[in-house]
Amino acid sequence: MEGPSLHLAAEQLQPFTGRRIASVAGNSKIGIERLSGLKVKDIFAWGKHLVFQFDTLALRVHFMLWGTFAATVKGRSVTGDYRRSGPPRLVLNFPNGEITIWAASVKFVEDHDARAAYDFSADIMADEWNGRAALAKVRAFPRVEIADVLLDQAIFAGVGNIIKNEVLFRTRVSPFAKVRDISDRKLRAVVADARAFSFRFLELRRIFSLRKNLEVYRRSVCPRCGGKIERRVHGRRARRSFFCPKCQRVRVSGFSRRQTRRSGSGTNTRTAPQHGAPARTHRARPRVQA
Ligand SMILES: [Zn+2]
């Protein structure tokens, strides 16, 4: 689940704010029994975290790669079409409904005000989001591939692999381009679109129309040029990128070329995406929850 989905989850779960947990279940080993009888004071999202605040402690849920959840209020589902599998990690039963969480990491935070510990200026969905600060943080990683930087939760809290791929396609930036090789104008566009597309993601999620509106993530044909969308696992994070090699080219600037030559580090440090190399096309993993 990516930031917009968590933002939506916090919204969907508001009927439980002010309610007391009647009983708990689930296979979590953190001692979830202590939640029984506690009253929910606040439910909020930060990046990919969903936080339940109680009087003296908070419960932090991190959905990782495969986590998902469902909730019903007065017998009616409020969470839509997320896939779910296996025994639940945590079930919170309330007088007015229940929340079920699968495959997520749950953790207690001994804090009466967990919200205060988060930097909302780094949250892609927050009112406090600071694009200028994000841009400065991105520039601190000149040698890192932009696809990796976009997934850095200290810079773009809430951006996951879907948003990363769509934003790079929308801004015509190669996922293999290193920060130093991206023009200032393009870099600004990437930062701005990370936020703009996240809000589009939220609106599409709200009407259960996200999948069919994605342009490059898990697609095979480029909607712009009609060419083949390639996919490749790469970078320090070893995450999969979907990209059009024709529309998303790496432009190595003269400056960085000279830098590379002078440093004597050879051609391996160049950011060429090896357009001719065959892309991996098999599906190695199940679909990620959006
Ligand atoms: Zn294309």
**Per-residue model confidence (pLDDT) at position 85:** 73
pLDDT > 90: percent of the chain: 79
**DSSP state letter for 226:** -
Rounded distance from Cα 249 to ligand 1 centre (Å): 10
Q: Say if residue 262's pLDDT is above 80.
A: no
Rounded distance from Cα 149 to ligand 1 centre (Å): 23
**Per-residue model confidence (pLDDT) at position 141:** 98
Give the range among 45-59, 149-163, 225-239, 272-286 with minimum mean pLDDT: 272-286
Residues with CB under 5 A from ligand 1 (ion): 222, 224-225, 227, 244, 246-247
Average pLDDT score over residue span 79-84? 72
> pLDDT category, 289, cuts 50, 70, 90?
low
Question: How far apart are alpha carbons 204 and 4 in whole angstroms?
Answer: 10
Rounded distance from Cα 141 to ligand 1 centre (Å): 27
Burial (CB count <10 Å: 0-12, 13-18, 19+), residue 234 = middle
The pLDDT tens digits of the residues spanning 98-147 come to 999 999 999 999 999 999 999 999 999 999 999 999 999 999 999 999 99
- Contact present, 51 and 17 (Cβ < 8 Å): no
- Residue 92: strand, helix, or coil: strand
Rounded distance from Cα 243 to ligand 1 centre (Å): 8
**Per-residue model confidence (pLDDT) at position 286:** 43
As a whole number, the mean pLDDT across the chain is 88
The pLDDT tens digits of the residues spanning 203-247 come to 999 998 999 999 999 999 999 999 999 999 999 999 999 999 999
Q: How far apart are the first and last CA of the chain?
A: 4
The DSSP annotation for 93-150 comes to EETTEEEEEES-EEEEE--S-GGGGS-GGGBTTSTT--HHHHHHHHHT-TTSBHHHHH
- Contact present, 42 and 119 (Cβ < 8 Å): no
**Per-residue model confidence (pLDDT) at position 265:** 39
> pLDDT category, 81, cuts 50, 70, 90?
low
**Per-residue model confidence (pLDDT) at position 280:** 43
Q: Say if residue 185's pLDDT is above 50.
A: yes
Q: Say if residue 71's pLDDT is above 60.
A: yes
Rounded distance from Cα 245 to ligand 1 centre (Å): 7
The whole-model pTM stands at: 0.84
Q: Say if residue 255's pLDDT is above 50.
A: no
**Per-residue model confidence (pLDDT) at position 281:** 41
Question: How far apart are alpha carbons 252 and 166 in whole angstroms?
Answer: 22
- Contact residues for 161 (Cβ-Cβ < 8 A; gap 6+): 2, 151, 217, 239, 240, 288
**Per-residue model confidence (pLDDT) at position 92:** 98
